[in-house]
Chain A
Amino acid sequence: MSTSSRHRLDVLGLFDNEYDEDGYRQCSVTGLDVHRSVENHVKLFGVTAVVWLLVGGLFAITVVGTRWEAIGLLSASDYYIHLSMHAWSMLLFWIVFVEVAILYVGGPMVLGRRLPLTKLAKAGYLVMVGGVLTIYYAIWTTSAPDQAPLLTAYIPLPSSPLFYAGALTFVVGVVIAAVPFFVTLWREKREKPGETLPLVTFGAFITGIIAVEALLGGVVAFGGALLWRLEILTFDPAAYRMWFWIVGHGTQQINLVAMIVVWYFLTHVVGGAEVVSEKVSRTAFILYLFFINMGAAHHLLVDPGISTGWRIWNTSYAFYGATLASLIHAFAIPAGIEAGRRKRGKGGGLFGWLTSAPWQNPMFAAPVIAIILFGFLGGITGVLMGQLQLNMAWHNTFATVGHFHSTVVLGTTITFMAVVYFVIRTMFMRRFVSNRLASLQPFLYGGAMGLTALMMMYVGILYGVPRRTPEVVANIPGTDFSLSAAEPLFVVFGLAAFVAIAGGALFVVLAVGSLLFGERIEPGRVDDSLLADGGDASLGFADGTELTTRESIDLSQDPDDPVHAYEMRGTFVLCLLFLAAFVITYILNWYLITQLWQIGA
């Protein structure tokens, strides 16, 4: 290999892995044949995502410092601008950039192919970055008559035309960046028509389809709003809400499905998990494909002008088709860990497979924390607030913010942090600057953020604190009425939120520090801290060396030792606990709503 070509595009030694003449190398952890073109683009999107996370995190400080009215950091006008910056950075930029990286991993990397149309991938990247910078500029320079867009930019409240243009640009950029992924699958299926896609690739494909559906909704919403803002055409505000939520909620469904793909991927690679039933898991992805976009209707449940039948049909995802899919994954993923670890001799008793798990490895701990917190806090509340009647209590309260911090932060962001850790270890080939801090980080961030989200829900439901306002708890301008009864909970909220921000900052420091100063992992050497925990001396070799991750992974290919024959009783108990929590919170929420005065025809 010529050194010059290898280092041609190298930046800070970050793109300098050694490849064979065809541009491939074999990953010592996963055993996948990784082509340079895939790896470099995954790195590009992954590292850029961390930049947006950093920006969003800085604005988290000012947003929390304002909502905790005891501090009262910002004026109202500034608050709305900072909140907009936080929302777009976190919910869209950080997450969607990681999602493009996940598509490239789930498609070409898992399939052992090169990334086709790399120019298109780069063009998509540049268009996305252009959209991001335009949106940042538009939000930051908001001036009358324009208002800060927040996330939703509900017309007819005007935002800067540049904002709509930036949002449209960003959305188009994502679609462009997704094209090489779809072309990969097209070529794979053309070459191997009879072969089933790996589960991770299949899930990524479903993610990609849901993404394109969502993004096309965004083209209508932002394109239409831009034309409305330029007074070229009229746009009904109720119709805008529907179009906006196709992209607004749809992008969160991309998060969900991408996150689940990562859960299957990482629990397998670092936890020894296997797929207990291809049929059941794939059926769940299909259910998402058909039903999950209906989740957008959750945002319109207390809107005028929409029939009751439309609302009930859509918000129930047509009889809870997508909820059933999530319940399936809620069993299948922990069951895969349980059965896989039992098969590898790591699962005594009911929960031995969990207590013996590699909790000190953030690439295992983070997704498992995400699974638990997403399920209990995000998933349950999502179904609750998605009930037509309960939505009256949740809509636009701070509890809603608690819900989506449970899904998007506790679920997606924590999972995607694990993705970044994984990319640092296996693609940038760097050790963490501190293993101890890397082990601690998911617990610190997840714990503090979980408490933050819980407090948001409590103050929203029990005290009716609205979202999107800097002043309401201690003081509502112009009246003696206030919601100051919620103040004690806001103290817990504020403290927990600042600890969570510290946990997020620790992630950025670890990620950037490891990229710049982490010790290089030499090619071909097995990274000892990444051994799947199936790698145990009892299963290892006679000379005492342990099973490597690769060998552990290869165990799952043994046709004489099917994983579905292993016990899943620990998972079953955990799932029953989850269902019990679901039923109890459901009843409590309904009890609260039936205590109200009579409402509705």
Chain B
Amino acid sequence: MTSPLKPPEGNWWDQPVDRRETIWLGLGVGWALVLFGWMSAFTRVGDQNPIGETYRVSAEEFRAKMGEYQDAGEETDEGLVPPGDDVLIGAGQFYWDGLPVVLEADRQYDIHLFAYDVQHGFSIRPEETLSKQINLQTIPGYEWVVPMTFDEPGTYRVLCNEFCGDGHEAMHGRLVVREGEQ
């Protein structure tokens, strides 16, 4: 009747289920609904979601846009101060185009992520607190606009965490967040 190697005999479907197994099933269903509910609700009420508009753009188009953006921005010793709320970041073998960049704390920017040649990984953390890190994929042909508001001033370090060829390990960029103008 209960060997996994033999066909079960008789009406095995109606055989009673142990009470504790039934309770466990209930707990499992409940936990599954919590997992789903929280993930879904957090996209509405939470502040950290990998969500943003995507546009199909060619590498040439993004490069042209990057040129205009860099011309309009202000070059400083620490990096480019963007002309507005848009921040363009293009990943290439093996550099971060548009970085270093200087941003204001507590101001929401639209971060435009793009890959010129192959896939790269946008991996960013403040250099003082390595555990505060996130990672977003960049794919050629896709410009992904993810809004971000940095609330803590400091230097943020960007690494590539998608293998993009021999030389990938040296791909590094910087993002400087200054106190905002209050």
Chain A residues with CB under 8 Å of B13's CB are 278-279
- Determine whether B84 belongs to the interface, using a CB cutoff of 8 Å to chain A: no
User: Do residues B169 and A110 form an inter-chain contact, with CB atoms below 8 A?
Assistant: no
Given contacts A30-B5, A389-B50, contact A600 B146 (CB under 8 A): yes
Q: Mark B118-142, 1 if CB is under 8 A from A, else 0.
A: 1101010101001111111111111
Where chain B touches its partner, the secondary structure class is mixed
Contact of A601 among B28, B49, B159 (CB under 8 A): B49
User: Do residues B2 and A392 form an inter-chain contact, with CB atoms below 8 A?
Assistant: no
User: Do residues B169 and A265 form an inter-chain contact, with CB atoms below 8 A?
Assistant: no
Chain B residues with CB under 8 Å of A269's CB are 5
- Determine whether B58 belongs to the interface, using a CB cutoff of 8 Å to chain A: no
Contact of A470 among B23, B119, B157, B169 (CB under 8 A): B169
Bound CA span A200–B40, Å: 36
User: Do residues A553 and B3 form an inter-chain contact, with CB atoms below 8 A?
Assistant: yes
Task: Give 20 CB contacts A-B under 8 Å.
Answer: A30-B5, A154-B162, A157-B164, A198-B6, A236-B141, A268-B5, A269-B5, A276-B2, A305-B142, A308-B49, A315-B39, A335-B20, A391-B50, A392-B136, A393-B133, A396-B162, A598-B151, A599-B50, A600-B50, A601-B146
User: Do residues B20 and A592 form an inter-chain contact, with CB atoms below 8 A?
Assistant: no
User: Do residues A200 and B5 form an inter-chain contact, with CB atoms below 8 A?
Assistant: yes
- Determine whether B35 belongs to the interface, using a CB cutoff of 8 Å to chain A: yes
- Determine whether A118 belongs to the interface, using a CB cutoff of 8 Å to chain B: no
Chain A residues with CB under 8 Å of B8's CB are 196, 198-199, 275, 278
User: Do residues B35 and A467 form an inter-chain contact, with CB atoms below 8 A?
Assistant: no
Chain B residues with CB under 8 Å of A571's CB are 20
Bound CA span A583–B28, Å: 12
- Determine whether B152 belongs to the interface, using a CB cutoff of 8 Å to chain A: yes
User: Do residues B36 and A320 form an inter-chain contact, with CB atoms below 8 A?
Assistant: yes
User: Do residues B4 and A279 form an inter-chain contact, with CB atoms below 8 A?
Assistant: no
- Determine whether B64 belongs to the interface, using a CB cutoff of 8 Å to chain A: no
User: Do residues B1 and A557 form an inter-chain contact, with CB atoms below 8 A?
Assistant: yes
Bound CA span A132–B134, Å: 36
Bound CA span A600–B44, Å: 11
Contact of B28 among A152, A327, A485 (CB under 8 A): A327
User: Do residues A388 and B3 form an inter-chain contact, with CB atoms below 8 A?
Assistant: no
Chain A residues with CB under 8 Å of B149's CB are 597-598
The residues of A with any CB-CB pair to B shorter than 8 Å are 30, 32, 76-77, 80, 110, 147-148, 150, 152, 154, 156-157, 195-200, 236-238, 241, 264-265, 268-269, 274-280, 301-305, 308, 312, 315-316, 319-321, 323-324, 327-328, 331-332, 335, 339, 383, 387-389, 391-397, 461-464, 466-472, 476-479, 481, 483, 485-486, 553, 556-559, 562-564, 568-569, 571-572, 575, 579, 582-583, 586, 590, 592-601
CB under 8 Å from chain A, chain B span 67-93: none
Chain B residues with CB under 8 Å of A276's CB are 2, 18, 21
Give the number of residue pairs across the A-B interface with Cβ within 8 Å. 318
User: Do residues B12 and A389 form an inter-chain contact, with CB atoms below 8 A?
Assistant: no
Chain B residues with CB under 8 Å of A556's CB are 1-3, 6
Bound CA span A461–B125, Å: 11
Bound CA span A154–B161, Å: 13
Given contacts A76-B167, A601-B49, contact A464 B131 (CB under 8 A): yes
User: Do residues A393 and B134 form an inter-chain contact, with CB atoms below 8 A?
Assistant: yes
Nearest CB in chain B to that of A463: its residue: B130
User: Do residues B31 and A582 form an inter-chain contact, with CB atoms below 8 A?
Assistant: yes
User: Do residues B4 and A198 form an inter-chain contact, with CB atoms below 8 A?
Assistant: yes
Bound CA span A316–B141, Å: 28
Bound CA span A328–B15, Å: 17
Nearest-Cβ distance from residue B3 to partner chain A, whole angstroms? 4
Nearest CB in chain A to that of B9: its residue: A559
Bound CA span A172–B146, Å: 40
